[in-house]
Amino acid sequence: MKMGSVKDLEIIRKPTKDKMGVGRFHFSDRYSVFDWGEMPDHIEGKGAALCLMGAYCFERLEEKNVKTHYRGLVTKSGKIVKFDELDEPTNIMEFHLVNVYKPKAYMENEKLKYDYSLFTSNLKNYLIPLEIIYRNGLPEGSSIFKRLEKGLLTLEDLGLNHYPKPGEKLEKPIFDVSTKLEERDRYITWKEAQKIAGLTDEEMEIIKALLLKVDETVTEIATKAGLENEDGKIELAFTPDRELMIVDVVGTLDECRFTYKGLPVSKEIVRRHYRKTSWYKDVEEAKIKAEAEGVKDWRKLCSSQPPKLDLNFKKLVSEMYMAAANELTGRKMFDVSPLKEVMHKLEKILDLF
């Protein structure tokens, strides 16, 4: 079992150079914000809620002939089933496993850099070292605003003719890309993404078409639940035949930024809470210092630890995850209040902080 910050990987059968293996995600109640890793609290029900949302979205994508690594959900008895066959929630998902090759880190002129030369157009059966992002809107907290302020992004890059406002809906989605396997993920251009991942022009076009298909599918699911699909991300891998497939998880509250009447229905609601703490300021300062000094792990430079969540707030966040799973999948798998009631309570408690 390999521990992650929010889910654990169980390897049933290891992949080889030419064959996929089999793995299982054990979705935990842990959570992570601002790339910190495991936070001091656990959010009850979160793991099972994310597992069910992800499975439901994978199954809807496969109905549209989108290839994914999903194999099914694992019941308490160990049986592999589809979402509709479940009698009770589970936090275990089985999937096809590919190789993960990490770029080699090195120092140059006191700056941390990465060597991606092993990723070529001949490599097969591996995780593509990118996160591919779609944006249908620019809600409060979107990284777009910070990147515009710092000059890391232009309005032309976004295809906009005006400076956007928080909460703005986009006429057509913006596609974005970042690194996936570096110590700290960074946004890059599509040209750089193609180069470091060893992708052909045709593969780049297929990736963008897949991203749009995922966006449209998740938007359909979210709309039925009364939610706005503001943005989301996907991860991709190549099969042993170098065919693209969707991996990791899609359509969950951790992969997407959903909103209900402008209020975050995602991990963003926890981020919003932590942005008001002194710990968040220490995190931002540590990241800046680490980049300037070429320090690999910025957490070592952070002068404080994250505080625990308020108990009432944590309980409502837990209910939000479970209620969202009920609404997004159309099945009441968790015994909680309707999502709109939970969000109304969350809105009230957020104003107190």
Contact status, residue 33 vs residue 266, Cβ threshold 8 Å: no
Count of CA atoms in the C-beta half-sphere (13 A) of 79: 8
Please state the rounded mean pLDDT for residues 160-174.
91
**Residue 107 burial by Cβ neighbours in a 10 Å radius (0-12, 13-18, 19+):** exposed
Q: Is the pLDDT of residue 353 over 60?
A: no
- Distances in Å between the Cα of 179 and the Cα atoms of 103, 186, 187, 322 are 10, 6, 7, 30
Task: Compute and round to an integer the Cα radius of gyration of the chain.
Answer: 20
In the numeric block, the tokens 């690194």 are attached to 179
Amino acid at 300: K
92: helix, coil or strand?
A: strand
Residue 249, token pair as written in the block: 């998880």
pLDDT value of position 94: 98
Q: Look at the alpha carbons of 31, 32, 38, 39 in this order and tell me if their dihedral is positive or negative.
A: negative
30: helix, coil or strand?
A: coil
pLDDT value of position 352: 61
pLDDT value of position 112: 87
- Distances in Å between the Cα of 92 and the Cα atoms of 28, 72, 311 are 9, 9, 27
Please state the rounded mean pLDDT for residues 123-138.
96
Please state the rounded mean pLDDT for residues 292-305.
92
Q: What is the DSSP string of 123-184?
A: --SEE-SEEEEEEEEE-TT-HHHHHHHTTSS-HHHHT-SS---TTEEEEEEEEEEEESSSSS
Please state the rounded mean pLDDT for residues 60-72.
98
Q: Which residues have C-beta within 8 Å of that of residue 280, sequence separation ≥ 6?
A: 34, 274
Q: How many CB atoms lie within 10 A of CB 338?
A: 13
Contact status, residue 272 vs residue 141, Cβ threshold 8 Å: yes
Angle between helix axes 201-224 and 190-197 (nearest 10 degrees) is 120
Count of CA atoms in the C-beta half-sphere (13 A) of 37: 9
Q: Is the pLDDT of residue 228 over 80?
A: yes
Instruction: Say which DSSP state 34 is in.
Output: T
Amino acid at 208: K
Q: Is the pLDDT of residue 348 over 60?
A: yes
Q: Is the pLDDT of residue 351 over 80?
A: no
Tens digits of residue pLDDT in 72-111: 999 999 999 999 999 999 999 999 999 999 999 999 988 8
Report the alpha-carbon angle 324-280-300, nearest 5: 115
Q: Tell me what percent of the residues of the chain surpass a pLDDT of 90.
A: 84
Strands 104-108 and 111-115: antiparallel
Contact status, residue 225 vs residue 327, Cβ threshold 8 Å: yes
What domains lie within the chain, and their CATH numbers? Answer: 2-350 (3.30.470.20)
Please state the rounded mean pLDDT for residues 66-77.
97
Q: Is the pLDDT of residue 166 over 80?
A: yes
pLDDT value of position 83: 98
The pLDDT mean for the chain works out to 94
pLDDT value of position 5: 79
CA 89 to chain centre: 21
